[in-house]
């Protein structure tokens, strides 16, 4: 992507209310709408035996919903310390702090081997950079769900379309294959 296109995208995101990206962040903070959070976790069939990792966990909403509404354990990985602190406070208020952990960390440095579900709201370009790490570290059968952005030629196992303010947006599900 050309720099001018990236700059234009950032200006558009800021105009849409996104916070300025934290230094080192690959994408700015934007939230997944609550109804989409629920649909993502349902699409991945999250349950009490799962460990749900949200890579770039923002204010912690995916991780907290997984613990509160689906009885899973959750791990958030987020580069912005303010968002990590906010996530911990929201988890405390939701009464799920014992079942969730938030790491202040670059998602590309995180150990993903304990995940049974990974949730993503990044960009297509970041998904594509992340894909080799997902394929290397995730156990076969791990489900990966991405809001809005695909994984190139990694064929999804299923997909749904959600309506957000009259705009249809895809949610993708992949299942890591046996190696």
Ligand X SMILES: C[S@@+](CC[C@H](N)C(=O)[O-])C[C@H]1O[C@@H](n2cnc3c(N)ncnc32)[C@H](O)[C@@H]1O
**Footprint of ligand X on this chain (CB under 6 A)?**
22, 25-27, 29-32, 54, 56-58, 61-62, 77-80, 83, 106-108, 121
Closest CB to ligand X among residues 81, 177? 81
Question: Which residue's beta carbon is nearest to the bound ligand X?
Answer: 56
Closest separation between CB of residue 22 and ligand X, Å? 5
Cβ of 32: how many Cβ atoms within 10 Å?
24
Closest CB to ligand X among residues 56, 74? 56
Please say whether the beta carbons of 64 and 91 come within 8 A: yes
**Which residues make Cβ contacts (< 8 Å) with residue 12, sequence separation at least 6?**
none
Closest separation between CB of residue 91 and ligand X, Å? 14
Closest separation between CB of residue 167 and ligand X, Å? 16
**Which residues make Cβ contacts (< 8 Å) with residue 24, sequence separation at least 6?**
79, 106
Closest CB to ligand X among residues 145, 178? 145
Closest separation between CB of residue 50 and ligand X, Å? 17
**Which residues make Cβ contacts (< 8 Å) with residue 150, sequence separation at least 6?**
124, 127, 156, 170, 172
């Amino acid at each position: 992507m050309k720099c001018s296109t990236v700059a234009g995208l950032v200006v558009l995101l800021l105009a849409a209310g996104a916070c300025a990206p934290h230094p080192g962040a690959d994408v700015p903070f934007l939230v997944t709408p609550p109804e989409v959070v629920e649909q993502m976790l349902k699409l991945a069939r999250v349950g009490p035996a799962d460990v749900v990792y949200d890579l770039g966990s923002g204010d912690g909403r995916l991780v907290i919903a997984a613990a509160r509404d689906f009885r899973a354990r959750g791990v958030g990985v987020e580069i912005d310390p303010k968002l990590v602190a906010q996530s911990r406070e929201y988890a405390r208020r939701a009464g799920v702090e014992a079942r969730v952990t938030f790491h202040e960390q670059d998602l590309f440095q995180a150990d993903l081997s304990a995940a049974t579900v990974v949730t993503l709201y990044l960009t297509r370009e970041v998904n594509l950079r992340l894909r080799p790490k997902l394929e290397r570290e995730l156990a076969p059968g791990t489900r990966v769900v991405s809001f809005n952005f695909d994984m190139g030629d990694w064929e999804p196992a299923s997909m749904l379309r959600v309506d957000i303010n009259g705009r249809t947006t895809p949610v993708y599900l992949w299942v890591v294959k046996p190696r």
